[in-house]
Structure 1
């Protein structure tokens, strides 16, 4: 652990010896992982929406029976209710496979790269972009949050 790792004032400062191409590569890696996080969120949305649809279908099956349409209720129940979304998989199994096969290895790789190349400091690219784009001496363009200034 380096001397500044726990120091908020240095958390986003480029470690000595880290060049521009490395900072750019780390920024790109971070963006790729952030996109993966969003994709994972969409998988959870898919999971919840599909589950909600299946529960609502169960209600429709019950209502079809109550309305005297037992044949349609039986067909919906047999053909769709509780059906695999892809062969052998419900949505929770897709999420588990994604997490095990892609998401967790990506998170571990990103953390390893940042630890090895930037002393564990996240968002160097973004921090430098903030510094370059902010208006100095403007109260809404602070270098860091007020708690970090003390």
Structure 2
């Protein structure tokens, strides 16, 4: 990071605090909050990839059952065709679903998490969800309407 860190006095608060460090501008809090939102979307996408991975595995296991049932029903040619053309098939060129997940983890998810953490460390003393904590405080301190 080539920018200078915002000038502020060290605080005695722990890095786990969600309070804005002294001297940090609204613009920085909002920008880092938006970066964190982007990471949360990446996390959700990763979860969907794991869902995809598990569904592919489940489909393959069910296909294996169907192939066995077709053999038992005297449909050996059909069973052989399914086994040859579908069972254990790659979901992407030369890759099973677990390899797609690993590539996502290594090539996108891990670097994204690392950059988000580094930006938080650099600009917010590592504090998480500062923008959300401030939104919570604004929402809770709003006068109630009767």
Instruction: Find the counterpart in structure 2 of residue 114 from structure 1.
Output: 120
CA RMSD between the two structures: 1.7
Q: Find 2:14's aligned residue among 5, 26, 37.
A: 5
TM-score normalised per structure 1: 0.86
Gaps of 5+ in 1: 139-150
Instruction: Find the counterpart in structure 2 of residue 148 from structure 1.
Output: none
Instruction: Find the counterpart in structure 2 of residue 23 from structure 1.
Output: 29
**Contact 1:114 1:121 (8 Å CA) reproduced:** yes
Instruction: Find the counterpart in structure 1 of residue 6 from structure 2.
Output: none
Cα distance in 2 for partners of 1:103, 1:2 equals 32
Q: Find 1:124's aligned residue among 109, 122, 130.
A: 130
Gaps of 5+ in 2: 1-9
Q: List, as ranges, runs of 4+ consecutive aligned residues in structure 1 with deviation greater than 3 Å.
A: 135-138
Q: How many residues align?
A: 135
Residue 69 in 1 paired to residue 78 in 2?
no
TM-score normalised per structure 2: 0.88
Instruction: Find the counterpart in structure 2 of residue 42 from structure 1.
Output: 48
